[in-house]
Amino acid sequence: MSLLPAWLAFDGFAWPWCLLLCLLPWLVRLLPPIIGDQQPALQVPWANRLQQVAAGNRGLVSPHKFPWLAWLAWCLVCVAVARPQQLGPAVAPPQAGREMMLAVDLSGSMGEEDMALGGRAVDRLTAIKAVVSDFLDRRDGDRIGLIVFGDRAFALTPLTQDRASVRQQLQTMVVGLAGRSTAMGDAIALATKRLQQQPNPEKVLILLTDGVNTAGTLDPQKAAQIAKQAGVRIHAIAFGGDGAAVSLLGFQLPLGGGDDVDEAGLARIAKVTGGKFFRARDTGQLVGIYQEIDKLEPVQRQGQAVRPLIERYPAPLSAALVLGLLAVLWPRRTA
């Protein structure tokens, strides 16, 4: 570890041969002096005054009488020209991820409390928030956007690497925020529109719903064809219990009603775009599905770290300027 301050420490020179220029003043001093004609070329009445002025101008530097301050300033200039460099801290290249949109169904059926989380019964949306939040923690390097859909589809967050803002918007979602119906086709179309504008070829949509398409202007199968043409890969998740019971602390609590999930339609959507269809009937299965998606859509990890070169020439160059000024002004002050 260097004992010098950070702005003085360096590990080497880019052009070390420039240090040989430090000898240039002595080489100039070895040159024979220039002997001029001793005969006066011009007779003027003020010649004696000119000689006195010339003799009194001792602040000028002569190559045959090189002051030590000026020589030191010259050496520092040579050091700066040689470009002293220091290895900076290791920097890893950024991770190469995907453009990923998360489309979450907020229709009325997402409020059914047929899920278990932490030993208590919760509604489907609460379970989704917990699982998707954990999924976001593992997607370092992706640009992620969030879409919700009910009667219509809305983009809550654009594609961004700020996963904290996506997680914040995720936690603020409530059932019925976008309406009580399910505009699945519109959600696919909106996600495709946002994704196809990106240059990254890895475009993924994770579509999560617990129902069938009951609203919107675009049929989900037609929207899937558009997504395929745009290079968007859709992983479709059908979520929700069977409507019979929920497991809580080892007991099966009966629940009324049944689910109407278009599993066949979701499977076709996934297949036509090159994605995969999943069925989750409880929170544990949903966790496993997002872990499986992590394997299907892996984030390229950081490459080998590199240490950038930091230029350290400003310090010797600044010192050379200060010493050069002293070399010129100091003789004048002591004259």
Kindly report which listed range (25-29, 187-191, 328-332) carries the lowest average pLDDT score: 328-332
Q: Indicate the angle between helix axes 263-272 and 220-229, nearest 10 degrees.
A: 10
Same domain, 287 and 147: yes
Same domain, 78 and 194: no
The structural domain count of the chain equals 2
pLDDT digits (tens, 9 = 90+) for 129-148: 999 999 998 888 789 999 99
In the predicted structure, residue 201 carries a pLDDT above the cut 80: yes
Same domain, 26 and 110: no
Same domain, 20 and 106: no
Same domain, 184 and 243: yes
Q: Where are the alpha helices (DSSP H) in 57-117?
A: 68-81
Q: Work out the average pLDDT over 62-76.
A: 69
**324-335 burial, b if ≥16 CB within 10 A, otherwise e?**
bebbbeebeeee
Same domain, 285 and 312: no
Q: Work out the average pLDDT over 92-115.
A: 83
Q: Please, which pLDDT band fits residue 52 given cuts at 50, 70 and 90?
A: low
Following DSSP, what letter does each residue of 141-189 receive, concatenated?
T-EEEEEEESSSEEEEEEEES-HHHHHHHHHT--TTTT-SS--HHHHHH
In the predicted structure, residue 3 carries a pLDDT above the cut 70: no
Let me know if residue 163 belongs to a domain: yes
Same domain, 245 and 133: yes
Q: Which helix (DSSP H) or strand (DSSP E) does residue 294 occupy?
A: helix 283-296
Q: Please, which pLDDT band fits residue 35 given cuts at 50, 70 and 90?
A: low
Domain range holding 157? 99-296
CA distance 226 to 219: 11
Look up residue 300 and give its DSSP letter: B
Kindly report which listed range (56-70, 93-107, 147-161) carries the lowest average pLDDT score: 56-70
CA distance 103 to 239: 13
**If you average pLDDT over every residue of the chain, what do you get?**
80
| Torsion sign over Cα 319, 324, 327, 333 | negative
